Amino acid sequence: MNPQESKNGEHDFSIELKSNEHLTRLLTSSKDVNGGVLIEGTLGKLQHAWFVEPEILEVKGSCGVLRLNMRKSEITIKDEANKCLGGDNE
C-alpha cells in the first residue's frame, strides 16, 4: 500500500481476508455510470487496531486485516461525555 495521501485528500485502503469464506458480499457494477463497488465481509473478533506506520491504520481481526491510509490527527474519538478528542471536529 502506498502510504502517501493523494493530492485531492483521498485515502487508500486494502482489505485482506484469510479466506473468501469471510467475504459475505462483493458487488461490482459495470452497468452503473459510476462503476460502483461494494465489499462486505467480516474481520472477525478484534485482535488489535494500531498504526503500523505513521500513516497506516491497521485493524486486525481473527478473519482478516483492514489497512487504511490516514494520520492519527485525522481520527476523532468521542469519550464518555461525548467530547471530541483529536482529528478535525465538524
The DSSP result for 12-52, as a single string, is -EEEEES-GGGEEEEEE-SSSTT--EEEEE---SEEEEEEE
Taking residues 28-48, what's their average pLDDT?
83
63 confidence band (pLDDT: 50, 70, 90): very high
Which of left, alpha, beta for 86 (phi over 0: left; psi -120 to 50: alpha)? left
Neighbours of 17 (CB within 10 A): 18
The predicted pLDDT at position 82 comes to: 61
Look-up of cell digits 481476508: 17
- The reported pTM is 0.69
